[in-house]
Structure 1
Amino acid sequence: MDVKQLKALVTVAEVGSVTRAAELLHLVQPAVTRQIRTLEQELGVPLFERTRQGMRPTDAGTIMVDRARRALNELERARAEVRPTPGAVTGIVTVGLLESTTDLLAEALVTAVARDHPGIDLRLMTAYSGHLQQWLDDGDLDLSLLYNLDNTPSLNARPLVREQLWVVAPATAGLRADRPVPFAEAAAHPLVMPAAGHALRALIDGAASRAGAEPHIAVQTNSMPVQKQLVLAGHGWTILPGVGIAEDVASGTLSAAPLAEPDVWRSIVLATPRYGRTPPAVEVVARELVRQIRSAVAEGRWLSAQLLNTGGTAETE
């Protein structure tokens, strides 16, 4: 088993065609076919089946593709780290960002890293907290923002921010930051909700239970931008973390107010693998991400956010 075989395996699986894979790998088609066949002979199992839709991995093939992709990523990471660049921090760093934080953090993080550490190959992945945690556990991320997470056997969780959930409505509703909205009042309107199973939905459902309210759910979605789009279109109100609506409120596109009776908070942490060596490039990006977050809170760009100390309690001046 060698690198060329692994590259052929992953590429065929991604494009579903030996012909297309050969083009991308700058090889002739028989060479790619031979690499796959040799790998199958070595493993003693078929890795692909031919269908009308193209080459589809078998169950064994799916396992091998997943492992091969990670092996190739690790080799690429090692190559970047050992490449001689005197005085420079180099390497590949893959960061997980919560979807709600991307508008506030993504561009600022990329700009700062590119300016101060051009040898770092920064890669951003966005998703909900549960997906990001799984990717971090699987080794697909080097560090990630997650929420409402304590230390686990596999992850260290550093508390960063505590933020309140907000009721969000069209601008015409006139919601204001200085006038919290009780959950019962929000529930009197049709609600655009995160899909069941989403961690944010669990927080909202818990608040509904404590308020003794039975909200009318107009529609459910797994996308925060879609939630806001549907609110703008008049399908109802919604409930979101402050960081996800700061720009919309500032521009007057939406109106919002802190959720009250009960008020609901979520804690955001920086999670990193507990075991293994932390490359210098990952340490650099982690420090920069924390700096960007602290700056956003200090400058008031993160609505109703409080910085947390290492014990998970709010910092005081």
Structure 2
Amino acid sequence: MEMKQLIAMVTVAEVESVTRAAQLLHLVQPAVTRQIKTLEDELGVVLFERTRHGMVLTSAGEVFLSHARRALQELERARSELTPVPGEVSGLVSVGVLESLLDLIVPALVDAVAEKLPGVQLHLLSGVSRHLNEWLDDGIVDVALLYNVSDTTAMRVQPLLNELLWAVAPPSAGLLSPEQGTWERVLREPLILPTVGHSMRTLIDKARADIPLEPKIIVETNSLNIQKQMVMAGRGWTILPAAGVARDIQQGKLSGAPLSEPSVSRSVVIGLPRTARIPRAVEAVAAELLQVSRRLVLSGEWPSATLMGTASP
């Protein structure tokens, strides 16, 4: 098994096309096909189904993909750690970020790392909390921002902050204060909500359980961006964490207010694997995550959020 085979397999899985993978890898298509076939022969399994719509991973391919990604990541990390700039923290760090925090956290984190940790290469992955938990357990990410989780045998968490969920509406609704964002008012509007099973939907359903109004759900989606776009188009209201809509409200694209009667909050934490050795670069990026989040809360850029534990002033 060779590194070039793993790279070919991961690239084909990501773009679902041998032709496109060959272009990205600057190889001819038969070379990529040969690397995949050699890998399948060595493993004794079929990794891809060749369909009219592209290359689709088999169940065996799904399993092998996570191991291949981890192996390539570890090789890249080893290369970075073995050839550091003297006196400089360096290495590859994969950070998992909740989709609802991307707009607020990522630009500030990238700027902070570029300024303070120029030897660190960031890999940023977004997903729902459940997937980020799995990626942290599997070593696909080194550190993650998660919510409503606590320490496990495989993961240690550092409490970061609590933030309120907001009622989010088109600008014409003029939501400005908690008095305007009551559950009774929200539940009388057409709603765009996360799909059943999504951790945010579970939080929403639990909070409204004692309110004698059934929601008028017009769309369910696992995409925060779809929720926001439909509200901007005037199709309905939604419920989101403050961080996910703060800048849209500031820019006048949406209006919003903290949910009230009752209010609902979620805790955001930094998750790290519970291992004997965490690379210096990972520890340094985790520290920057803490500092960036703390600054955003104290400056008011992260509305209706309160710091917890060691993140507190």
Given the two structures, how large is their TM-score scaled by the length of structure 1? Answer: 0.88
Q: Does 1:190 align with 2:190?
A: yes
SS of 2:175's equivalent? Answer: coil
SS of 1:245's equivalent? Answer: helix
C-alpha deviation, 1:16, in angstroms: 5.9
Q: Does 1:261 align with 2:233?
A: no
Alignment correspondent of 1:273 = 273
C-alpha deviation, 1:241, in angstroms: 1.1
Conserved? CA contact 1:129–1:146, under 8 Å: yes
Q: Deviations over 1:186-220 (max 9, x none)?
A: 11111111121111111111121122321111221
Letter in 2 for 1:217: I
After TM superposition, the structure 1 stretch with the greater mean CA deviation from structure 2, 286-295 or 30-39, is 30-39
> Closer, same or farther in 2 for the Cα pair 1:255/1:18, shift >3 Å?
closer
C-alpha deviation, 1:6, in angstroms: 3.2
Alignment correspondent of 2:50 = 51
How far apart, CA to CA, are the structure 2 residues paired with 1:90 and 1:21?
Answer: 29
Conserved? CA contact 2:48–2:61, under 8 Å: no
Alignment correspondent of 2:83 = 83
How far apart, CA to CA, are the structure 2 residues paired with 1:3 and 1:279?
Answer: 23
C-alpha deviation, 1:143, in angstroms: 0.5
C-alpha deviation, 1:63, in angstroms: 3.3
Alignment correspondent of 1:298 = 298
C-alpha deviation, 1:300, in angstroms: 0.8
Conserved? CA contact 1:183–1:207, under 8 Å: no
> Closer, same or farther in 2 for the Cα pair 1:279/1:170, shift >3 Å?
same
Matches within 5 A, 1:63-74: 63-74=63-74
> Closer, same or farther in 2 for the Cα pair 1:218/1:73, shift >3 Å?
same
Conserved? CA contact 1:246–1:303, under 8 Å: yes
After TM superposition, the structure 1 stretch with the greater mean CA deviation from structure 2, 115-124 or 285-294, is 115-124
Q: Deviations over 1:86-108 (max 9, x none)?
A: 11111001111111111111111
How far apart, CA to CA, are the structure 2 residues paired with 1:170 and 1:61?
Answer: 43
Conserved? CA contact 1:210–1:262, under 8 Å: no
Q: Does 1:109 align with 2:116?
A: no
What is the RMSD of the two structures over their aligned residues, measured on CA atoms?
2.6
> Closer, same or farther in 2 for the Cα pair 1:55/1:249, shift >3 Å?
closer
Matches within 5 A, 1:149-164: 149-164=149-164
> Closer, same or farther in 2 for the Cα pair 1:115/1:213, shift >3 Å?
same
Alignment correspondent of 1:172 = 172
C-alpha deviation, 1:38, in angstroms: 5.1
C-alpha deviation, 1:2, in angstroms: 3.5
Letter in 2 for 1:95: V
Q: Deviations over 1:110-160 (max 9, x none)?
A: 011112211111111112211211111111100111101011111111110
SS of 1:211's equivalent? Answer: coil
Letter in 2 for 1:260: S
After TM superposition, the structure 1 stretch with the greater mean CA deviation from structure 2, 33-42 or 179-188, is 33-42
Alignment correspondent of 1:217 = 217
Letter in 1 for 2:162: R
Please list every run of 5 or more consecutive structure 2 residues that lacks an aligned counterpart in the other structure: none
Work out which of the two has the higher radius of gyration on C-alpha atoms and give 1 or 2. Answer: 1
Letter in 2 for 1:144: A
Conserved? CA contact 1:192–1:217, under 8 Å: yes
Conserved? CA contact 1:48–1:55, under 8 Å: no
How far apart, CA to CA, are the structure 1 residues paired with 2:143 and 2:137?
Answer: 10
Matches within 5 A, 1:31-42: 39-40=39-40, 42=42
